């Protein structure tokens, strides 16, 4: 289980085309791409804020 062959992938693609239609697939992929871009941006901003909060401030060093 978990090993996909060419037949399984073709079957999944066929089902996707039947469900969404050929014209909706580019819109669907564009939406997924934008969502991934926003997720990466948000995680990058979150990492930067974590690093800033972990660094001691000048006042705390004295």
pLDDT in tens, 40-58: 998 887 777 767 776 665 5
For residue 47, give its domain range. 22-53
Any domain includes 44: yes
**Is pLDDT above 60 for 5?**
yes
Any domain includes 60: no
Any domain includes 62: no
Question: What is the percent of the chain where pLDDT is above 90?
Answer: 27
What is d(CA 21, CA 19) in angstroms, rounded to the nearest whole number? 6
Write down the pTM of the prediction.
0.49
Domain count, the chain: 1
Per-residue pLDDT, 33: 93
Any domain includes 43: yes
Phi first, then psi: give them for residue 40, nearest 5 degrees: -65, -40
Any domain includes 39: yes
CB 3 within 8 A of CB 12: no
Would you place residue 31 in the very low, low, confident or very high pLDDT band (cuts 50, 70, 90)? very high
Any domain includes 29: yes
Q: Report how far apart the first and last C-alpha atoms of the chain are (Å, whole number).
A: 59
Instruction: Write out the two tokens for 42.
Output: 């948000």
Any domain includes 5: no
């Amino acid at each position: 289980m978990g090993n996909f062959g060419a037949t399984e992938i073709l079957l999944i693609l066929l089902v996707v085309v039947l469900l969404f239609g050929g014209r909706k697939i580019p819109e669907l992929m564009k939406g997924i791409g934008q969502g991934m871009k926003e997720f990466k941006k948000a995680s990058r901003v979150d990492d930067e804020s974590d690093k800033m909060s972990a660094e001691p401030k000048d006042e705390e060093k004295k």
